[in-house]
Structure 1
Amino acid sequence: MRAVGVTRFGGPDMLRVLEVGAEPLGRADVRVRVTAAAVNPTDTMLIAGARADGDRPAGGVAVPGMDVAGVITEVGPDVPARLSPGARVMAIVVPSGDHGGYREELVLPSASVTAVPLGCTDAEASTLPMNGLTARLALDLMRLRRGGTIAVTGAAGAFGGYLVQLARHEGLTVVADAAPADRAMVAALGADVVVDRGPDVAARIRDHFPDGVDGLADGAVQGDEVLSAVRDGGVFATVRGYRGDGARGIRVAVVGVRDYAANWEKLDGLRELAGQGALTPRVAGTLPLDQAAEAHRRLAAGGTRGRLVLLPE
């Protein structure tokens, strides 16, 4: 079957259409015919070999992609009855070698798979699992109380947008940053206060919350630049391993979505909220699978809102 991946690390131009073999089906696994695969910034890190030793994948091939939607074609004997052949599903993928979302078929643990949300297309559903679970995990680690305050940087992005919506759903007051062109969209997602993004965003947050917010989720990966927006004893959630400066009793929560990659209850909770309209999947555009390099060039150029989605069929 076809996949798109790299045999040598680099930029988008290193992506190639490859032939890969079928994956074995375990007892608790499902086989999914992929109809949509979202393109995420984390995919660019895999293509660049950011966490690899050397300039080539250890197994010869690396296929990116952490989000898919599709149709179940086969199930193992220990798979729950909620998943059956013919069901439309979405799933989070943990890439390894040629096992990644950019391929025509995948075998996945049943705990990583749930139904497509009510009213969603496959392309829309494919934007939800990885970013939605990252936002869900960030909030769970932050442990903010209902009525508390949270700041979200990078709120116009997929992770940030889902986090704004989840936070509002859980009764938090949300302050979020946005470029001028994105202010209306971020407000529509549920932010109570929208401030200009960029330098000095922490000061702009403090203009509205002089004592600082209870927590900040740093989707824009600004680290030290925004830490001062958090109150003494508050919490700072990071997706890139930032450790804070150890001052003012601020707790730093490092968010790694793989911790929730086999948490079906959390994934299915996202499905339910999206079906209710409490979460809004956003598709920036769709391209055929063999145009993955173009999708990555568009992502690198910046300005996409929502996720570009690859369509294998």
Structure 2
Amino acid sequence: MRAAVVTSFGGPEAVEIVDVERPEPGEGQIRIKVAAATLNPVDAGVRAGAFGTGKPLGLGWDVAGTVDAVGGGTGWTVGDQVIALQHGFDKPLGTHAEFVVVDASAAAAAPASVDLVHAASIPLNTLTAAQALDQLALEPGQSLLVTGAAGAVGGYAIQLAAHRGIEVTAYAAETDEELTRSFGATAFTPRGTTPAPADGVLDTAFIGAEALGWVRDGGAYVGVIPGAHPAPERGVRTSSVEVKADGTQLAALASLTDDGILTTRVAETFPLADATKAHTRLAEGGVRGRLVLVP
């Protein structure tokens, strides 16, 4: 089968499409025939050598497709359409491949309301947003500021927070106000200006200490780069989310997609063979929605 890997670190040109053996599922695992797999910023980090040193490294965390083989004790059946998160910075094969093996506990039934290309954009970004909101632990009626609000994690965070009854202010480029309000933000602050203090900040734009200053005394700050959050001050709790594969939580998020609470966004699709072109497009920036590879 074909898979996207890096054998030397660098820019988009470092991505290689290679022929490898089709993986076999073990106990508690399923093999998925990949229909679509999203390209995320973390893949660019892996490609550039920001995580792990082992090589070759497989690329891809998100997947949507059809179960085509099962190990023992999985609860899944060949032919089931699923989505899953294959977590890991340092793995020989990722989801940017024709087939991928994942733990059965990481998978959920694909939502029925969107095609598999759009479904592939759900796992990493919705789980990150949901787990970050869980860490913030805001109550209905409290206020949340989301930086990078027009991005994939930021957009899902706004939708989930609004669904939980939290008042959301979006912090993004001025041209993204209409978009972020469509997600459920009730207020908007253009990037480069100072927002009003909030009970919590979800910092998907990696602003750091400055964004911590936008949290009210005794509030909470959560970043999205593991371990890179600023130190606590003024009684503000600070942490960063390190996303975990969780099929039960992913199933709930898929259900919210079917209910119209979460809106998937796909900017462009690329054949797996054109993975380098997809990485080049990601590096150019300004993507609204996800780039998706299709084997």
Say yes or no: does 1:243 pair with 2:237.
no
Compare 167-176 and 23-32 and name the one that shifted more. Answer: 23-32
- How far apart, in 1, do the equivalents of 2:120 and 2:38 lie? 6
Partner of 2:61: 66
**CA distance, structure 1, for counterparts of residue 30 and residue 233 of structure 2:** 47
- Where does 1:8-157 land on structure 2 (aligned, <5 Å)? 8-53=8-53, 58=54, 60-80=55-75, 83-95=76-88, 96-157=90-151
Instruction: Tell me by how many angstroms 1:219 deviates.
Output: 0.6
Contact 1:20-1:98 within 8 A present in 2 as well: no
SS of the residue corresponding to residue 226 of structure 1 reads: helix
Aligned-partner residue type, residue 47 of structure 2: I
| Matches of 1:277 and 1:47, distance apart in 2 | 34
* 1:174 matches 2:168: yes
Letter of the 1:167 counterpart: A
TM-score by length of 2: 0.96
After superposition, the CA RMSD in angstroms is 1.2
1:223 corresponds in structure 2 to: 208
TM-score (norm 1): 0.91
Deviations 1:62-109 (A, max 9, x none): 1111101011111122012xx211111111012443220111001111
Equivalent AA in structure 1 for residue 63 of structure 2: V
Identity %: 40
What letter corresponds to residue 86 of structure 2 in structure 1? V
Q: Secondary structure at the match of 2:58?
A: coil
The answer to whether residue 262 in structure 2 is matched with residue 290 in structure 1 is no
**Are 2:253 and 1:267 equivalent residues in the alignment?**
no
Query: Which of 171, 176, 189 is the aligned partner of 1:195?
Result: 189
CA-to-aligned-CA distance 1:127-155 (integer Å, 9 cap, x gap) = 01001000010011111111111000001
* Aligned residue number for residue 209 of structure 1: none
Q: What residue number does 1:252 align with? A: 238
Paired residues of 2:108 and 2:248 also in contact (CA < 8 A): no
Partner amino acid, structure 2, of 1:29: Q
Q: Give the stretch that moved more between structures: 15-24 or 188-197.
A: 15-24
